Structure 1
Amino acid sequence: MSGWKDEKLGNLVRFRAGTGFPKHLQGAMAGELPFAKVSDMNRSGNEITLGDAENYISYEQAKSLKAYIHRPGAIAFAKIGVALTSNRRRRIVRPLVLDNNMMSAEPLEEKLDPKFSYFLLSTIDFNEVSAGSALPYLTISGLSDIDVFLPPLAEQREIAAILGALDDKIEVNRKTAATLEAMARALYRSWFVDFDPVWAKLEGRAPTHMDPAIAALFPDSFGDDGLPEGWEWLDLAEFYDVLETGKRPKGGIQDTPEGVPSIGAESIKNIGVFDYAKTKRIPRDFFETMRKGRLSDGDILVYKDGGKPGELRPAVTYVSEGFPFEEACINEHVFRVRLSSELGQHFGFLALSSKSCMDQMRELATGVAQPGLNQSAMNALSFVRPDRPEILISFNALVKPLLDGCNVKANESRTLATLRDSLLPRLMSGELRVGEAREQIEEVA
């Protein structure tokens, strides 16, 4: 391995600490600078890069806090508590501020290629240099003393290009899935919230972007209740075939590497989104005894309890195409929902995850310390149903390829991520050469 050499991490990067985030500055959802917390690494779109946050501040506010503004190309990570044990790294892609539970590493570009630095840091287990026992934390001196085996800059760029191409494809898949989901939600909103086809016919216009045969199914007037003539609000209780939770073995889930995945509330994010690092498994013999909570293709999953004290933060997802697993179950914190064939799972997912149903879930949640949804609350959820079943049949046919496509893209990304994670340590150690890695990627692609 010509030109590879041993280095100390502190000679390759400059570590920058985060900043305390006063409560009175929190809450702005837009602004000049994202103020990223550890939890923001879980936000959709922040799986690899970090460029968005739940909170924003202005440059003037950053100046008043004497906050360091972390630059694009730096690598962000958690520096204290349980979060650091996950070894998550995020490449910063826009100027931002990190809170004081995080820090960043800025590559010294004369020695370390910025893109390569992300992959290099991803192979290092920071747990090995953390201090503290009850509350682990990282120190700059401990990080700086880490030994790394470094290739020449030219080879760094080649390795980063190989691995970066896989990450780029994963990001393209994420954006494509987001577009597919947005299209499905826009169609749901147009038909069942804004009633665009009905308004068009009422005004003597042909509904836009709609087959004439489908347009003919919509009424051309509204009733006294403000709904399209003949349509009505109905409760979920009248239209589901399955509404159940799962369970876990007595004593909780133990480390069962060969068991069956058990999906909990922490994994219910959105369609096509699943954190495999948090996968928990139950013994197969216990799974075989489960009479409820075993997943099937097309299930809708609802996060039924939790959030923060006094506030339910509901979440809904839709599983299909073998995503996230070909075989899995849910625990007691998740509802599995199968609606009647009259409604269909695709309409059902979009209805249950609509703003209307989400607001209803928050209102119907019971409990203070840990608010949640019981079966009665789920039964009481209401949604608009058209009077012509053909409308729902047509709608489900249109959105099925969009929603299932989200999960197809997620499966592709999982395959790519698995390949990337297998190549990463071997490329970084010099065990695998760039040419061999390209051949392996071409076999998968």
Structure 2
Amino acid sequence: MKLNEVGVTLIDCDHKTPSAQTSGYPYVGIPQLKDGHIRLDGARLISEEDFALWTKKAKPQLNDVILSRRCNPGESAYVPDGLEIALGQNLVLLRSDGSLIYPPFLRWLVQGNEWWEQVNKFLNVGAVFNSLKCKDIPNFRLTIPSLNEQKRVTAILASLDKKIELNNQINQTLESISQAIFKSWFIDFEPVRAKIAAKQAGQDPERAAMCAISGKSEAELEQMVKEDFAELQATAALFPDELVESELGEVPKGWKVKPLDEIANYLNGLALQKFRPENEHEFLPIVKIAQLKSGIATIEEKASPNIDPKFIINNGDVIFSWSGSLMVDIWCGGKAALNQHLFKVTSIDYPKWFYCSYTKHHLAEFQRIAQAKAVTMGHIKREHLSQALCIVPSNQVLDIGNNVIGAQMQKQIVLRLENNNLIQVRDTLLPKLLSGELDVSRLASETEYEYSTE
């Protein structure tokens, strides 16, 4: 049946762009549609007045699907409850009236094989961008299961998706905590400064450092379990109580200043077009900047498995894209071959969390350098790694960092790998559930479901 025959309405966007503000409502564009979800990172913010104008025609609501017509036509994301956003150019809303399509099911319907067959059928190939026309989308023909089946399919897929999103949220929290601790200890030296201030005020410097490390008041310290208090006290004792001058300004006494390329090795990948597989069955997927961004190594490009092992990456490796889109990430996409323009970052002297955190710390400056040099594709040089300085603490403080920041990093890796498995299960089930290949008739009846995103 056609979409316009099953109660699905298309609502077009306003074909203009509001002025950007420093605060306000998110104006969602094509880059914010990622993996079926709306990611607000990088979204333009608009004023309350513009928000009212831009949502007059098309105001996204719960279980709507936002669809891209250009750049990546056919890609979509669903609207969760409570999200106040305005619709950007080249996006449209799809909204079900619930008569023949269960609204939460719509987000899954537009990810199936039939959907992409229709996208390809109606696709307008352009010189720069391919696109879909608003008048064509309502004519997409799709197989529509019964409402009962839709609700059962939705329950299965949404439960997997909910777990994936929960893991993502946990990882975001872990990353925020890790970055905050790293900045406090190794950039701002808050435990050290707390000791200095306490000494000058005639107070207990160790207690002051304990407060700085834990974020607790002295009264709250007294309420701690004895073992936790002793552990915190031992941690505080490891931080110096004096700052000394260095080429970076004041640094904790006894800590060393070293360039980034002395705390870690930055190995550039290979020009892998020179290392093609010898046959169709034995190969490694190639990781370029695009794969690092997505976290997935596809088999569209393949390399020989017989390349030098040092250019092979595995789950947990730190990868730094130093050209084009500069970014630092921990690879969790499986065994792959590393292409040029990407560094594999390793160290035999310092823990992963330490050199990864310091590489991220210098990333903004590296991005500034690359942008200033951008003629075709901005990049940094090895000399910039040598100019990026790091403060190296005592081995005892590094050991404490292993137990805190290192442990959180390992949790993030575990959750990302779990998500990869969940995504694979979800994406394998999706076409089978939509086609009816998998029987869902024995699952709970429709009365157990209500309109929601759960």
- Name the SS of the counterpart of 2:391 in structure 1: strand
- Paired residue type of 1:261: P
**Structure 1 residue 69 corresponds to structure 2 residue 59:** yes
Decide whether the 8 Å contact of 1:304 with 1:335 is kept in 2: yes
Decide whether the 8 Å contact of 1:256 with 1:282 is kept in 2: no
- Paired residue type of 1:41: L
Higher alpha-carbon deviation: 63-72 or 374-383 = 63-72
- Name the SS of the counterpart of 1:227 in structure 2: strand
Moved >6 Å (runs of 4+):
255-258
Decide whether the 8 Å contact of 1:346 with 1:400 is kept in 2: yes
Distance across 2 between alignment mates of 1:245 and 1:172: 34
**Correspondence for 2:163 among 144, 160, 169:** 169
**Correspondence for 2:399 among 393, 411, 426:** 393
TM-score, scaled relative to structure 1: 0.82
Distance across 2 between alignment mates of 1:167 and 1:56: 28
Decide whether the 8 Å contact of 1:36 with 1:52 is kept in 2: yes
Distance across 1 between alignment mates of 2:31 and 2:408: 29
1:189 aligns to what?
A: 183
2:296 aligns to what?
A: 276
**Correspondence for 1:221 among 223, 228, 242:** 242
User: In the TM superposition, what is the alpha-carbon distance from 1:76 to its structure 2 partner?
Assistant: 1.2
Decide whether the 8 Å contact of 2:297 with 2:333 is kept in 1: no
1:215-364 matches, cutoff 5 A: 215-224=236-245, 225-250=249-274, 259-269=283-293, 274-276=294-296, 280-284=300-304, 287-290=305-308, 292-296=310-314, 298-307=316-325, 314-319=326-331, 323-325=332-334, 327-341=335-349, 343-354=350-361, 357-364=362-369
Q: What value does the CA root-mean-square deviation take over the aligned residues?
A: 2.8
- Name the SS of the counterpart of 1:426 in structure 2: helix
Identity %: 22
- Paired residue type of 2:8: V
1:295-335 per-position Cα deviation (integer Å, ceiling 9, x unaligned) = 2554321111114xxxxxx210123xxx220x212111211
TM-score, scaled relative to structure 2: 0.80
**Correspondence for 1:384 among 369, 382, 391:** 391
Distance across 2 between alignment mates of 1:379 and 1:213: 34
**Number of residue pairs the alignment of both structures matches:** 402
Q: 1:437 to 1:346 in 2, by over 3 A?
A: farther
- Name the SS of the counterpart of 2:66 in structure 1: strand
Structure 1, unpaired ranges of 5+: 1-6, 308-313, 439-445
2:76 aligns to what?
A: 89
Distance across 1 between alignment mates of 2:270 and 2:384: 18
1:136 aligns to what?
A: 130
Decide whether the 8 Å contact of 1:75 with 1:90 is kept in 2: yes
- Paired residue type of 1:368: A
| Bigger radius of gyration | 2
User: In the TM superposition, what is the alpha-carbon distance from 1:129 to its structure 2 partner?
Assistant: 1.9
**Correspondence for 1:17 among 12, 20, 25:** 12
Q: 1:251 to 1:88 in 2, by over 3 A?
A: farther
Distance across 1 between alignment mates of 2:146 and 2:380: 57
1:377-403 per-position Cα deviation (integer Å, ceiling 9, x unaligned) = 2232212222x2221122123222211
